[in-house]
């Protein structure tokens, strides 16, 4: 889910389709009644029958041709509809035909039953606006017709979705607005809009009071950058062994019936292959998402469909959509002054390493953007250094806030510039720009597909924000060999594109009995293309002779693996982590009212809860930066001043 907080000037630059929320902003909009009891025969008045066309019925009759051109956009639209809520989505594109095509594909999915249960009995009715405008003599007539159609939709109790073109001139009518606002406020209607970027900008600026009624998703870009990013992925290079992950094989063995449905990540050879699509359809599989323009699909399917996919020759690898969680963070706690100020040497001029102009993508739980530490000079009225803020955890445009608290702390360690405590709580890269990529929800939990979408967004937008470093203070169980693991594959693409990827080692250095464990490096820390960081314990001193490995820090060798054709497990056995850095009780930025500090008050540095507050954390990953004076593969860890 690609959700973005910057405006449509950026969207225009990408020439993308977006699903964004609004009902009064749009050139087109759809209305869906809140899902209630299921009714087989929705109420349809003569007015509704005269001015609408049932797109879902056309889909059942085979009169809408399936296209994969906007598969990601269609999946986003279907997901927003199924989630419901007060905030309303709208398809945004300069071409109205494109807007309509996305809605038609959603109707076709409903007709085929390839949607969540909440939409199972839905029907999308398109209001024929040409007929409406030609027959209505006044705005009052138009308002009366629209209000009648809306009333019919409400009476259907969740079955009718209305798609309307050219409604910009209608929503200014109080008669229409009052009906729509009342229905939404009472939880009876959900609306989907279509808008050009210009219309969105104009309405958003002139009517900010409606902001509470809309949210949105920015979906896959289709510009030159996106096409180039898509070419980074290789169809079948490097995959090893069985093309079904070991844990998925275990699920199949435990369910001989094959009826259990699972969410999977399919790395296809050609995601648009007719053979693959036919296999998915025959196996009762449902494509819920596509990672950008790549050949990686998120598919819900019964276990019985996996064997056919495995032997079809159409896929490189299939694995579960595994959960991801935070793994803490580690920063270098010594040598900041020496690192920032580099003296003249061997004819080279002196220079400063402060991250100026470099973009650091913090892939985490979001960032508390109001913290002074993310301002240019550490003052509340300074310009923000957070240049992009995107969310892939749901369909809510405004859900980029860090309610969990982890991402803000990590970003502060990487690039903080707070003046608190005489500037002692600063990251080394205090002038770097920060790109917040939210892939963990407000409980600090995510899944593989969210992370893949976030990493794909970085690939597509790395040039626009000069992203030279990606910090992954999160991970998931490393099962698949790094050549097959979908996250590791994406990390390799980033590295090949010149982006340094910093990954957490993990926090599984000992078991519940306190016994030391090896081989517990998380994914994507098991990738040789990532700089994997473990935690050391500085024991509160600046000296290094008393440092040791933190007991909780995961250690290698890596035990991700693949199976040969004879079933033999071949382990990666890479030596990891690559480096360690102090990771105990580090002080960094506190997101106001975050759940970590509320649930554990001992993490708070003091009792404040404002725009310059601090908190402690410990863990096994790091934020890093690549300096403009150095090659992109040269990175250094950042610093904070811990309380010892």
Please give the positions annotated as active site. Answer: 364, 406, 621
The β-bridge partners of 604 are 615
The β-bridge partners of 90 are 20, 193
Cα 19 from chain centroid?
14
DSSP conformation class of 239: -
Instruction: Tell me the backbone φ, ψ of residue 624, rounded to 5 degrees.
Output: -140, 170
- Order of strands, edge to edge, in the sheet holding 296-302? 286-290, 296-302, 261-268, 315-320
The β-bridge partners of 19 are 91, 217
Range 574-612 burial, b when 16+ CB lie within 10 A, else e: bebbbbbbbbbebbbbbbbebbbbeeeeebbbeeeeebb
Residue 131 and residue 50 in contact, taking contact as beta carbons nearer than 8 Å: yes
- Considering only CA atoms, which of 276, 8, 52, 286 is closest in space to residue 150? 52
Interior angle at CA 184, CA 180 and CA 187, nearest 5: 145
Instruction: Tell me the backbone φ, ψ of residue 615, rounded to 5 degrees.
Output: -155, 165
Please list the alpha-helical segments (H only) found in 525-583: none
Q: Which two tokens stand for residue 518?
A: 């090896």
The residue to which tokens 């001992």 are assigned = 602
563/244 Cα distance (integer angstroms): 9
Q: Is 453 helix (H, G, I), strand (E, B) or coil?
A: helix
Torsion of CA 581, 582, 588, 590, to 10 degrees: 100
Interacting residues of 534 by C-beta distance below 8 A, sequence separation 6+: 330, 505, 549, 550, 553, 554, 555, 576, 577, 579, 580, 620
| Cis-peptide, bond into residue 344, ω within 30° of zero | no
């Amino acid at each position: 889910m690609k959700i973005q907080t910057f405006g449509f000037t950026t969207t225009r630059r990408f020439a993308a389709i977006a699903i964004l929320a609004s009902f009064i902003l749009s050139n087109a909009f759809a209305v869906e009644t809140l899902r209630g009891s299921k009714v087989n025969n929705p109420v349809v008045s003569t007015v509704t029958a005269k001015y609408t066309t049932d797109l879902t019925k056309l889909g059942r009759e085979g009169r809408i041709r399936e296209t994969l051109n906007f598969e990601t956009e269609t999946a986003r639209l279907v997901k927003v509809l199924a989630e419901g809520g007060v905030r309303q989505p709208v398809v945004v594109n300069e071409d109205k035909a494109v807007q309509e095509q996305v809605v038609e594909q959603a109707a076709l999915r409903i007709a085929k039953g390839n949607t969540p249960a909440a939409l199972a009995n839905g029907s999308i009715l398109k209001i024929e606006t040409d007929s409406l405008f030609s027959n209505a003599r006044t705005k009052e007539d138009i308002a009366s017709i629209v209000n009648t159609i809306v009333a019919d939709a409400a009476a259907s109790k969740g079955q009718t979705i209305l798609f309307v073109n050219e409604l910009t001139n209608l929503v200014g009518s109080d008669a229409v607005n009052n009906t729509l606002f009342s229905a939404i406020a009472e939880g009876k209607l959900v609306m989907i809009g279509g808008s050009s970027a210009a219309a969105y900008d104009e309405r958003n600026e002139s009517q900010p009071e409606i902001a509470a009624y809309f949210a949105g998703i920015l979906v896959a870009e289709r510009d030159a950058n996106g096409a180039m990013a898509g070419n980074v992925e290789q169809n079948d290079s490097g995959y090893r062994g069985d093309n079904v992950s070991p844990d998925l094989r275990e699920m199949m063995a435990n369910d001989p019936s094959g009826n259990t449905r699972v969410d999977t990540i399919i790395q296809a050879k050609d995601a648009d292959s007719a053979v693959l699509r036919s296999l998915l359809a025959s196996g009762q599989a449902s494509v819920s998402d596509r990672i950008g323009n790549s050949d990686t699909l998120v598919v819900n399917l019964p276990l019985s469909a996996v064997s056919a996919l495995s032997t079809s020759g159409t896929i490189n690898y299939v694995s579960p959509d595994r959960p991801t969680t935070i793994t803490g963070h580690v920063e270098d706690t010594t040598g900041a002054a020496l690192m920032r100020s580099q003296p003249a040497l061997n004819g080279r001029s002196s220079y400063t390493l402060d991250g100026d102009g470099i973009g650091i993508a913090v892939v985490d739980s979001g960032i508390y953007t109001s913290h002074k530490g993310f301002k240019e000079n550490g003052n509340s009225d300074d310009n923000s250094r957070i240049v992009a803020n995107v969310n892939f955890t749901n369909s809510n445009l405004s859900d980029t806030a860090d309610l969990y608290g982890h991402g803000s702390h990590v970003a502060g360690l990487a690039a903080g510039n707070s003046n608190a405590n005489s500037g002692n709580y600063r990251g080394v890269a205090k002038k770097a720009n920060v790109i917040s990529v939210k892939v963990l929800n407000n409980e600090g939990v995510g899944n593989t597909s969210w992370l893949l979408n976030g990493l794909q967004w970085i690939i597509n937008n790395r040039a626009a924000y000069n992203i030279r470093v990606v910090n992954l203070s999160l991970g998931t169980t490393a099962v698949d060999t790094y050549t097959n693991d979908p996250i590791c594959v994406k990390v390799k693409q980033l590295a090949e594109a010149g982006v340094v990827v910093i990954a957490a080692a993990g926090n599984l250095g000992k078991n519940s009995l306190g016994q030391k464990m090896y081989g517990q490096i998380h994914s994507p820390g098991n990738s040789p293309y990532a700089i994997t960081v473990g935690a050391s314990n500085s024991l509160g001193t600046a000296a290094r002779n008393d440092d040791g490995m933190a007991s909780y820090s995961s250690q290698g060798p890596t035990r991700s693996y693949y199976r040969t054709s004879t079933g033999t497990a071949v382990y990666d056995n890479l030596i990891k982590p690559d480096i360690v850095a102090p990771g105990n009780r580090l002080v960094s930025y506190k997101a106001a009212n975050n759940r970590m500090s509320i649930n554990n008050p001992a993490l708070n540095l003091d009792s404040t809860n404002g725009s310059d507050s601090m908190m402690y954390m410990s863990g096994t990953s790091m934020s890093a930066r690549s300096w403009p004076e150095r090659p992109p593969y040269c990175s250094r860890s950042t610093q904070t001043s811990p309380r010892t």
